[in-house]
Structure 1
Amino acid sequence: MIYRSPLSGLHIPPVFLSDHVLADAASRSDRAALVDAVTGEVVTYGELVRAADRGAAGLVAGGIAPGDVVAVMSHNQPRFAVAVHAVLRAGAVISPLNPVLTVEEIVKQLIDSGARALIVAESSADRGTEAARAAGVPHVFVLGTHPENGSWDDLVADARPMPPALTANPAEALAVLPYSSGTTGTAKGVMLTHRNLVANLEQLAQCWRLTEDDVLCAALPFFHIYGFTIILNSALLAGATVVTLPRFELRPFLDVVQRHGVTRGHLAPPMVLALAQAGEVDEYDLSSMRTAICGAAPLDEALAERAEKRIGCVIRQGFGMTEASPGTHCAHDEVFASTPAGAAGQLLPNTEARLVDPVGGEDVPPGESGELWVRGPQVMAGYLANPQATAQTLTDEGWLRTGDIARVDEHGYFFVVDRLKELIKYKGYQVAPAELEALLLTHPDVTDAAVVAMPHPTGGEAPKAFVVTSGAVDPQELLDWVAARVAPYKRIRAVGFIDAIPKSPAGKILRRRLKGV
């Protein structure tokens, strides 16, 4: 059975992403587009367009051509948005990087994506420079200053002729190349076209009707597709104001909500937990925030209810994944408060879904749970240079296998009830067990390894390793060894020593046998 959105027939304009997002910027030239909550810097819509145009001209003058990949590695700040739209206006492809990645992890993505340039925050410039050198990336621009690299500020300060108008097909040309582990395995480049992202922005705009009067706090990272599409570009499309924080910390977040009058919240489960429990919350006036969406990981219904009562704001969930730009489900404004608290919402416009028996491959009867498959104009073109992974995730008919088990009620509300995929979600970040297992096997005393999710009080879940060793190994030494080689969110939080890793006859790790051990 195919489920369809209660809203359909949405027109998706055949335009490029930045042209679409900033189409009305001239009419709101003096309005604040972005505010840095730390430095107080304000970038108006007029300044954003002028700086993005100059950045595009500078990139093209430096040899960046349409279709080239430009990696962007920064915490949330106004210049992140400037850099992103400069890259897009040059016809290049953005590949966002988490600034906490290690040099080795950065090198891997730079090489895999074929990046021709790296735009990096000043605070991450040393690691970025080292990684770019190792990966053979010819151009590095720093959002600030650095002794070895050109300054992004200098690039946008020079007035150059604008590059020629883009001539590619927005339905085929890539706009963003984020990296995702998909339903399993190591990170892969997700090919999102201009049409994918324009479609998702239009779909979201039909459900969450942002206006110029809205103020959003960007505590969730722009390098994650949630922050990129649902916070940054949705707000800029509507003419709203985005107040940036480099990371989520409770007091700075509460201060932004109170001082700037944030109207709509964008949260992840650890943020909801803090709002429900922390004593500092009572010191701030959060009454401007009327509604909030929680995404990136499942939200406990009881926890959401406690946070709602505490701050007087309705909190509902959405659903999506990087491979869908990311949104596929949300609580529509018209029925926001009446949407069941445990639901992921209803389908976005022009989006279809199926619930499929993961064993037999047939659609399950109404009322039963099955793997959620989605189809719509926001679904990716595929994984970069990885036809096998693409075929495992996308069907010939365009269905995206999400790896999540869901059910749908008689009103079209979807509930995610389990997960087929093996990914671990720590504070909303994807952690692929296979990546950590491969790393553990390079330790001289580890002969076999398996990584599973364990409950975590603030992260939701976190990686736990089970290892087979050739001799005595100190658990803390092994934890420290892994921590030195991965980003902080990927760190193993516990280790267990066993005689053998349980595996199927085909050699597949039977992780379910290890959970709860």
Structure 2
Amino acid sequence: MVSSARPDVVIPDVPVYDYLFGELDESRLDEIAIIDGSNGQTTTYRQLIAHIGLFAGALAARGIGVGDVVGVLCPNVPAFATVFHGILRAGATATTINSLYTPEEIANQLSDAGAQWLVTVSPLLPGAAAAATRLGIPNEQIIVLDGAPGHPSLAELLGEGRLAPEVGFDPATHLAVLPYSSGTTGRPKGVMLTHRNLVANVAQCRDTIALDDGDRVLAVLPFFHIYGMTVLLNFALRQRAALVTMPRFDLTEFLRVVSEHRASWVFIAPPIAVALAKHPLVDQYDLSSVKVVFSGAAPLDGALAELVAKRLGCIVCQGYGMTETSPVTHAIPVERDDLDRSTIGVLLANTEARLVDESGQDVPAPASGEETSAPGELLIRGPQVMAGYLNRPDATAEMLDADGWLHTGDVATVTADGVFRIVDRLKELIKYKGYQVAPAVLEAVLLEHPSIADAAVIGVLDADGQEVPKAFVVLQQGAALDADGVMAHVAEHVAPHEKVRVVEFIAQVPKSASGKILRKELRARESARA
């Protein structure tokens, strides 16, 4: 077992709202909390806190409180912070939904989470309304932030002037959020994260990630994803930094916003690093304000990190985590310029890790020197580890053992100094541009096509070294379906990030005696071609 070398931090036994805003000094209330990157409008901490309270009061007046779940289908706009923290302050639980989801996927998450209310914006209303219709959610329970006929708007709710309710719950057990994750395999599951989970991870990040109150933080990573939720929406605000929001990634707009608003910390996923390292457009913008580029959500190649650092004249770090760990467990501290950028760094405070081999035995860490351990599956234990999967005791037991160890499904090594590196992945999950893509979901869609007899999906690397979904397809006898037809069929039924990007037709999908797809054989076939 490896324990964090960093001293334990105190984790207050308080709700998320109290931890983020309860100690904010009066003298700092008029500092900028959020900047709308698209138009430059600002929200101060005073305004944000007031709006959160008013939104919580409006929810409470509608009977929403402890035990209720509210869906949030919204891009990164300043109002997201009001909505998200207003839901939590009202004592309810937020289930954040991918803005790219289809109506069917939205409905599935709302249904599974038990949400009877939904918050969205007008551009996403058609999909939200279609999902709500499937579930019998009436229009008056769909809040459209920027307004739409027949729906309550944010301005209307804040204009009611209702005070935030007095609510009581145990932060250690009460669910703050229900983001959805495929875990190590299978269809998305509701990850039960308590107020203590989220508070703990912010406290842990404060010790390792040197973001400060003078910084401006680019918030292009989606708030609905646990990375954006914890590291940007919660951690950056707790550090009294200013969040600069972007509703979606567009390279030209990204560069403009960084340049005009003088962002000093830029949190990204690896595909953005590819653009920063290689795209000629980067040279047309003044990015001298950038001190740190911090990558997460998927593995960052060390050579790519060095290219970004050299081109921007900044520090590049990466971290590691999962939705099930709130998410951060490892990070490269800014001051550790000795660390290989392709590593995931060191354990956060209050966190323990183990590496176990295929037999379940612990892999010993090297005693000293520059040696590296043998690889083993990475197990994590700490206060940021989830309470479990919603209504999925079997899946919870597979992921989280009786001693509190969470099995990540990732294979790692560790040095004598406690520096970890991810070297492989046991889990089937594909990470496309930082988004989780479950092969099981795509396989189910593929098998719905009448010309497809069988199918399997794995992740393969594209020309930029980024993982993309590839489908191995067995056609029905006499069928004339081509690769474009396969990809078009999938695209009709899934979100854009879940699309199949490569297709190979094969005679038979390799399977075990029990019928389980042998993805290792498909990966071996890909490796042999490389």
Q: Same fold (TM over 0.5)?
A: yes
Amino acid paired to 2:522:
L
More displaced, 185-194 or 436-445?
Answer: 436-445
Cα shift at 1:477: 1.9
Indicate conservation of the 8 Å contact 2:182/2:438, yes or no. Answer: yes
1:30 equivalent in structure 2: 30
2:485 equivalent in structure 1: 477
Amino acid paired to 1:474:
D
With over 3 angstroms needed to count, the CA separation of the structure-2 counterparts of 1:41 and 1:496, relative to structure 1, is: same
Cα shift at 1:278: 0.9
Matches within 5 A, 1:423-462: 423-457=429-463, 460-462=466-468
2:375 matches 1:369: yes
Indicate conservation of the 8 Å contact 2:317/2:334, yes or no. Answer: no
2:124 equivalent in structure 1: 124
Indicate conservation of the 8 Å contact 2:293/2:315, yes or no. Answer: yes
1:54 equivalent in structure 2: 54
Matches within 5 A, 1:77-476: 77-138=77-138, 139-164=141-166, 166-335=167-336, 337-357=337-357, 359-366=358-365, 367-457=373-463, 460-470=466-476, 471-472=478-479, 473-476=481-484
Amino acid paired to 1:316:
C
Structure 2: how far apart are the matches of 1:512 and 1:438?
19
2:67 equivalent in structure 1: 67
Measured against aligned partners, the alpha-carbon deviations of 1:469-492 in whole angstroms (never above 9, x if no partner) come to 223123322211110110000001
2:505 matches 1:497: yes
- Counterpart of 1:318 in 2: which secondary structure? strand
Cα shift at 1:311: 0.7
Amino acid paired to 1:361:
G
Indicate conservation of the 8 Å contact 2:56/2:163, yes or no. Answer: no
Cα shift at 1:70: 0.5
- Structure 1 runs not aligned, ≥5 long: none
- Counterpart of 1:154 in 2: which secondary structure? helix
Structure 2: how far apart are the matches of 1:297 and 1:190?
19
Structure 2: how far apart are the matches of 1:163 and 1:76?
26
2:369 equivalent in structure 1: none
Structure 2: how far apart are the matches of 1:323 and 1:204?
16
Cα shift at 1:286: 1.6
Indicate conservation of the 8 Å contact 2:221/2:228, yes or no. Answer: yes
- Counterpart of 1:477 in 2: which secondary structure? helix
Cα shift at 1:494: 2.1
Cα shift at 1:496: 2.0
Cα shift at 1:125: 1.1
Structure 2: how far apart are the matches of 1:365 and 1:331?
22
Amino acid paired to 1:18:
Y
Cα shift at 1:459: 7.7
Structure 2: how far apart are the matches of 1:214 and 1:24?
19
Indicate conservation of the 8 Å contact 1:25/1:49, yes or no. Answer: no
Cα shift at 1:340: 1.9
Structure 2: how far apart are the matches of 1:374 and 1:393?
11
Indicate conservation of the 8 Å contact 1:316/1:339, yes or no. Answer: no
Q: TM-score, normalised by structure 1?
A: 0.97
Cα shift at 1:320: 0.4
Cα shift at 1:220: 0.8
Structure 1: how far apart are the matches of 2:51 and 2:316?
36
Cα shift at 1:250: 1.7
2:13 equivalent in structure 1: 14
Cα RMSD of the aligned pairs, angstroms, is 1.3
Amino acid paired to 2:79:
R
Indicate conservation of the 8 Å contact 1:35/1:42, yes or no. Answer: yes
Amino acid paired to 2:455:
A
Structure 2: how far apart are the matches of 1:474 and 1:135?
36
Amino acid paired to 2:497:
Y
Cα shift at 1:26: 5.3
Measured against aligned partners, the alpha-carbon deviations of 1:383-428 in whole angstroms (never above 9, x if no partner) come to 0000010000001000010110000112111011111111111101
Indicate conservation of the 8 Å contact 2:175/2:194, yes or no. Answer: yes
Structure 2: how far apart are the matches of 1:346 and 1:207?
9
- Counterpart of 1:274 in 2: which secondary structure? helix
More displaced, 217-226 or 284-293?
Answer: 284-293
Indicate conservation of the 8 Å contact 2:446/2:489, yes or no. Answer: no
Indicate conservation of the 8 Å contact 2:460/2:470, yes or no. Answer: yes
Structure 1: how far apart are the matches of 2:62 and 2:39?
30
Cα shift at 1:431: 0.5
Structure 2: how far apart are the matches of 1:26 and 1:129?
41
Structure 2: how far apart are the matches of 1:201 and 1:261?
24
2:485 matches 1:486: no
Measured against aligned partners, the alpha-carbon deviations of 1:284-324 in whole angstroms (never above 9, x if no partner) come to 22222112211010011111111111111111110000000
- Counterpart of 2:286 in 1: which secondary structure? coil
Structure 2: how far apart are the matches of 1:161 and 1:411?
51
Structure 2: how far apart are the matches of 1:513 and 1:371?
20
Q: How many residues align?
A: 513
- Counterpart of 1:115 in 2: which secondary structure? coil
Structure 2: how far apart are the matches of 1:263 and 1:384?
38
Cα shift at 1:338: 2.3
- Counterpart of 1:34 in 2: which secondary structure? strand
Measured against aligned partners, the alpha-carbon deviations of 1:39-63 in whole angstroms (never above 9, x if no partner) come to 3221111111111111001111112
Indicate conservation of the 8 Å contact 2:38/2:257, yes or no. Answer: no
Measured against aligned partners, the alpha-carbon deviations of 1:41-96 in whole angstroms (never above 9, x if no partner) come to 21111111111111001111112121211111111010001100110110011100
- Counterpart of 1:377 in 2: which secondary structure? coil
Measured against aligned partners, the alpha-carbon deviations of 1:246-287 in whole angstroms (never above 9, x if no partner) come to 112222222222222211221111111111111111122222
